[in-house]
Amino acid sequence: MRPVLDGHDVCLDPPATAQVWLGTGVGGGHGFSEIAVPGVRLARGDALVAVELAAFGPDEVLALVGRGAASLPVVPGGSAVGRVVEADEHARAHDGRRLRTGMRVVWSGTVACGRCVPCHRGLASACVSGERYGGERTRRSWQLSGTIASHVHLRRGTTVVVVAEDVPAAVLAPVAGAIATAAEVLHRASSLLGLSGVPSLAGQVAVVSGAGAAGLVATAMATDAGARVVVVDPEEARRERSRAFGAVALADPRASTGSHALPRVLASVDRSGRHRTVGFAFDGGTGVSALVDQVAVGGVVVLGGAASATGTPAGGRTVSRGRDLVVASGRLVEGLVTLTGTQDAAPERLASAVAWSSDAWQRWPLESLVGRTIPLAEVGGALTGVGAGAGDGLIGVLGGQLGVGQEARLRR
């Protein structure tokens, strides 16, 4: 593939391709239809990236199925690793470097203006004019707007981080999703905890509710930060898997008594109860009340999770799929408990997620977060299976540019 440039127009031969979601039951029953995009118009600060590997999870699939007709068609997917094909001369990486052809990069799930009040407060996901990769209705000026494609058109206002060549694609593909989300949640908790003015999780007991991809990453991150992590999940296989990511104890949220009940598990880890200061919830709200009840005085509970890129209907509001949460106000007041939530990751957290994962994959099984890898053309059948309950791991979708080791993963 050799791009032929005409001003800011990038002509692609062969054309870029994308899988467009048209709705349940459309497109041969899978809901997807492939489109060809022969060219892209790069505005000031834009870049075109060839996708090496995209990561797509079950929550995104469920949100995709739930989209209203008014917000369709859409190219789904918000987290991937790729390589710059062409960039406008004003396009810059997060560290200030000019984006150049051949650079291997990851990018944020949102496009933010950087000028509005929410942006100045560090709340890029609440940008008044923000848009989301994989969450916007496909239009002529932005057809390659999701990662389930051979290429993605990165718009100005996207945080782009250059990544190393020797880090496996399966480690980097979830960075903008699960890994950056976990980094943001830990940052929020650590900042609020503020031990002696120094944000730290060292010596604390952290409870992670939900052992999906983000929960597993948070478990490993908190362990690296010096915390002892207890993982809570209703599925035994998911709980047991968390041991490989550093969990020191496991609890079943359905158990009110016995060895798997959360109070008993916490007592075995911290008998005094003074160090149970942090709770992280990644499961849409389940178990949050228990976390609030179990944290020590001055504790922090953070609800985290990247907003589903495919769950943003026309009008820009994100659909929340979480459950109703009931918490006694007296517990918050008398226990000096802070309950907060976070959505998406600030640019600094995306950069720190890249730095952490680029080192941590050699001590934690981060590659295993992507359970299997499929070609772009087979995405319809594979994602339909996930939506029907065929596993809860991330699926890797090859954009067409095979990286080191990807051929072997594809043959599995």
Domains in the chain, start-ordered, CATH in brackets? 4-173+365-411 (3.90.180.10), 177-342 (3.90.180.10)
* pLDDT above 70 (res 408): no
Which DSSP category does 28 fall into? Answer: I
**pLDDT value at position 401?**
56
For the chain, how big is the Rg over CA atoms in Å?
21
User: What is the per-residue pLDDT across 297-338, written as a single tens digit (0 to 9) for each?
Assistant: 888 999 987 544 444 433 333 444 456 677 778 888 888 888
Structure tokens at 198: 């120094």
Closest CA to 286 of 249, 234, 235: 234
**pLDDT value at position 385?**
59
User: What is the per-residue pLDDT across 3-20, written as a single tens digit (0 to 9) for each?
Assistant: 544 447 899 999 999 999
Ramachandran quadrant class, 380 (left: phi over 0; alpha: psi -120 to 50; beta: rest)? alpha
Half-sphere exposure of 397 (CA within 13 A, CB side): 28
Asked if residue 83 lies in contact with residue 103, where contact means CB atoms within 8 angstroms, the answer is yes
* CA–CA distance, 368 with 120 (Å, rounded to integer): 36
User: What is the per-residue pLDDT across 202-232, written as a single tens digit (0 to 9) for each?
Assistant: 888 999 999 999 999 999 999 999 999 999 9
**pLDDT value at position 183?**
94
Closest CA to 369 of 176, 109, 178, 167: 178
* pLDDT above 60 (res 31): yes
* CA–CA distance, 382 with 392 (Å, rounded to integer): 12
> What pTM was estimated for this model as a whole?
0.88
User: What is the per-residue pLDDT across 350-405, written as a single tens digit (0 to 9) for each?
Assistant: 999 999 999 999 999 999 999 889 999 888 777 765 544 444 578 899 886 544 44
Task: Report the b/e string of 228-243 with b at 16+ CB within 10 A.
Answer: bbbbbbbeeebbebbe
Task: With cut-offs at 50, 70 and 90, classify the pLDDT of residue 407.
Answer: very low
Collect all residues with Cβ–Cβ distance below 8 Å to 328 and sequence separation of at least 6: none
